[in-house]
Structure 1
Amino acid sequence: MVLEGHYAKKQIFSQNQIIAWSHSSRFKTTISLVEKYAKNYSNLLDYGCGDGTFLTMVSNLFSEALGTDVSQEQIYDCQQRLFGETKLKFCLKTELDSQEYNSYFDIAVCMEVLEHCPPEQAEIVINNLKRLVKEDGVIIISVPIEIGLSLLIKPITRAIAGWLQQGDYDKSIECYSISELLQMIFATKSSSIPRLIYGDDFPYHGHKGFNWRALRHELSKEFEIEHTLFSPVGWLGGFISSQTFLICRNR
């Protein structure tokens, strides 16, 4: 079930205690946010559901919980592995293009997706979230913090995990030049550096060069951003946290 999911194994059940703590805190924060709204809402969309771990954790709060992803392999795995979870459904992102899903969902969660999207894909995701969520619904977006002091801490943790063969972090290390590193450590909402694109069928960015402040600025043009939260050390305002959460509503 949850334990068998690829991302669950790599992240919340990682042998590296710092990685496990960071990602477990992200899930706990998202669950607490969803629980806050579940009293008044009946259905949930997990946009970019991955291995279905989060959806499985919160499905008991809703009468309907749907996970969507661009990967047929990922969706098939969720459908087979989580077959017994009757409240859960999974489908390819393209299946949500139908007009029947316009303004259909009360809550949409989009965790760790937008940092990987090239600009044209990010625009599609944002427009889809606007279209799929009801006018009075809630959109919860989480993205990693890859600027500031966190930028110095996270690559070291990933490198150690890779060296110890804890997950596949040895395959995901991206190098910065000194000028790139300084620019992102002191990043503002307008700071940017070139970002590499990987993959053929589904082009994507790694974490290098992602600026959550710039994303928040872009999202504010489309949504009303009610709150900005941080995990796992929220009271420091993102100073050494690994994720930020943007609680949005349609305008």
Structure 2
Amino acid sequence: MSYSDYTFQDKNPVKRWLQQRRMVSATRLGQQTRQPAVICDYGAGNGELCKQLSEQIPDAKFICYEPSPVFFEEAKENLKTVPHTEFYQNIDQVPRGSVDLLFCLEVFEHLPEKETHDALQTISGLLKPGGELVIGVPVEVGIPALYKGIFRMTRRFGAYDANPKNVFLSFIGSPPQDRPHGEIEPGFGYHFPHTGFDYREFSKTLAGYFDLKKVSTSPFHAPGTLFMPEVYFSLEKPNNAAA
């Protein structure tokens, strides 16, 4: 299954709309800063974000990083008409301190603790001092966890993210801690279900690496994480941070 099949081309029209709206929310948040010369999409999926950004900031250089071989090829095909785009499967090949603005959407909810810290350190190294980033993750606690869980149960009842007990625990704000752990690529740890991820704990982790500028939600900013399914953090690399 391609990345687009379960995101932008999902059979459910509401899910397709939400996927498009998260792009709008992310790009709007990212463009509150100065005009960036180099933009990186960290975990680019099929490259749709770079494609949309290229229409809004045509003079920028785009770095499309996607470690999955399948998604990587999908991104290259999707972005074949977008100029000034470089593609990477190995993030170590991207020059350190070269990025003005970085987006990382729907990545961190999948990463175990070690991989989370590794990724944040890598992102900090990629950004120029004062560089900015937008990180988007799902809200998997409270009311959003309830309506997401009900939707998932209609598709795959009994699976980890569609288990009534796990849905209830997430709804009351105590998400399950026994998340299934695998590898998306050899040596690359990964949580496949979103259930069990807690954006509140993740925000505390972010504070150890970057300065927080703004928190927003998608598809609408109000009423925030109480009802909205996605949360976005607009952050800045401190000028005195190590490269």
Question: Which bin holds the TM-score, normalised by the shorter protein?
Answer: 0.7 to 0.9
Q: Is the 8 A contact 2:30 2:234 kept in 1?
A: no
CA distance in 2, matches of 1:192, 1:174: 10
In structure 2, give the amino acid aligned to 1:198: G
Q: Is the 8 A contact 2:209 2:237 kept in 1?
A: yes
- Distance verdict in 2 for CA 1:77–1:177, change over 3 Å: closer
1:107 lines up with 2:104 in the alignment: no
After superposition, what is the alpha-carbon deviation per residue over 1:147-174, rounded to whole angstroms, capped at 9, x for unaligned?
00111101222344x3xxxxxx789762
1:240 lines up with 2:227 in the alignment: yes
Give the corresponding residue for 2:135.
141
What is the CA-CA distance between 1:135 and the residue it aligns to? Answer: 1.0
1:34 to 30, 35, 58: 30
2:173 to 160, 165, 187: 187
What is the CA-CA distance between 1:35 and the residue it aligns to? Answer: 2.8
Q: Is the 8 A contact 1:145 1:244 kept in 2?
A: yes
What is the CA-CA distance between 1:177 and the residue it aligns to? Answer: 5.9
1:56 to 33, 47, 51: 51
In structure 2, give the amino acid aligned to 1:246: F
- Distance verdict in 2 for CA 1:218–1:175, change over 3 Å: same
- Distance verdict in 2 for CA 1:12–1:74, change over 3 Å: closer
2:14 to 14, 18, 22: 18
CA distance in 2, matches of 1:194, 1:150: 20
In structure 1, give the amino acid aligned to 2:215: T
What is the CA-CA distance between 1:82 and the residue it aligns to? Answer: 2.7
- Ranges in structure 2 where 5+ consecutive residues have no aligned partner: 239-243
In structure 1, give the amino acid aligned to 2:13: Q
In structure 2, give the amino acid aligned to 1:28: V
What is the CA-CA distance between 1:81 and the residue it aligns to? Answer: 4.3
After superposition, what is the alpha-carbon deviation per residue over 1:101-149, rounded to whole angstroms, capped at 9, x for unaligned?
1111000000000010111111111001110011111110000111001
CA distance in 1, matches of 2:117, 2:159: 25
CA distance in 2, matches of 1:51, 1:244: 21
In structure 2, give the amino acid aligned to 1:131: G
In structure 1, give the amino acid aligned to 2:31: E
Give the corresponding residue for 1:219.
206
Match of 2:45, SS state, is coil
Give the corresponding residue for 1:131.
125
1:121 lines up with 2:115 in the alignment: yes
1:90 lines up with 2:87 in the alignment: yes
- Distance verdict in 2 for CA 1:35–1:250, change over 3 Å: closer
1:204 to 175, 190, 193: 190
Identity %: 20
Q: Which runs of 4+ in 1 moved over 6 A?
A: 169-172
Q: Is the 8 A contact 2:46 2:78 kept in 1?
A: no
CA distance in 2, matches of 1:54, 1:150: 24
CA distance in 1, matches of 2:221, 2:152: 21
- Distance verdict in 2 for CA 1:16–1:73, change over 3 Å: closer
CA distance in 1, matches of 2:81, 2:162: 43
CA distance in 2, matches of 1:234, 1:79: 32
CA distance in 2, matches of 1:186, 1:216: 19
What is the CA-CA distance between 1:192 and the residue it aligns to? Answer: 5.8
1:8 lines up with 2:4 in the alignment: yes
After superposition, what is the alpha-carbon deviation per residue over 1:71-91, rounded to whole angstroms, capped at 9, x for unaligned?
133223322443232222211
Instruction: State the TM-score, normalizing by the size of structure 2.
Output: 0.85
- Distance verdict in 2 for CA 1:217–1:64, change over 3 Å: same
Give the corresponding residue for 2:241.
none
